Amino acid sequence: MGLEGGDQYTIDLSLIEDGEVVVGVLGCPNYPMRKDWLSYQHSYLRILSKLIPATSETWDKGCVIYAKRGSGKAWIQPLLHVNKKFVWPNHAKQASVSCIDNPALATFCEPVQKANSSHSFTEGLAHSVCLCNQPLRVYSMIKYAAIACGDAEVFMKLARAGYKEKIWDHAAGVIIIQEAGGVVTDARGSPLDFSKGSYLEGIDRGIVACTGATLHEKIIDAVDASWVSSCL
């Protein structure tokens, strides 16, 4: 969807062995190097790029983010350009989740599409835990990238009844956030199961990703307290 609209999108690659994600890679061609530009549509950023001199910090560089299970580290580096060789680390730097654990200061992400996620319910949850900032609605696995890079703190996807999550929509992002220091579970706090084929079977209520245990616990508790009245 993001690709079709000229907005944010990702190209995702993961390696799963015995039901466990061991390597994840996110290619993010439009990911801005400035956090304050992340929520702007790509078409608007094209206008800005004509007004602001190109530097290594500008949005249009894009990036690749990757991690290996057990390494305790995730890495981010600019996309390759003409006359540059892919020799690691090639300007790679460590990606780390934000240290913010106060909900009032946190930024939360949710999918753009309303068809497979309830914006009204997540809005209510955000209010209940004092997530005051405007939600960052982005396509694809950009929300995983934003949390891993410290540009957002919470991702909530609370799906409507009958919706089934596909493993390729989450695998790479999950391991990258985990190795960058974050937490990803279903909305009851259980680990995601990538061993059942093309779909994430057994997900309870939805998916929650956070920068750390403090925020994660507050979101899970809020979901639990509000779920009966959610009608999802």
Q: Where does 54-201 show beta strands of DSSP type E?
A: 63-68, 74-78, 93-95, 108-111, 136-138, 154-157, 183-186
Note the pTM of the prediction, 2 decimals.
0.85
Take residue 172 and report the two structure tokens written for it: 């790479």
Interval 176-219: pLDDT, tens: 999 999 999 999 999 999 999 999 988 888 899 999 999 999 99
Q: Nearest 5°: phi and psi at 20?
A: -120, 130
Contacts of 231 (CB under 8 A, 6+ apart): none
Interval 16-40: pLDDT, tens: 999 999 999 999 988 876 666 565 5
Nearest one of 224, 229, 184 to 205, comparing CA atoms? 224
pLDDT at site 84? 63
Helix then strand then coil, % of the chain, to nearest 5: 30, 20, 50
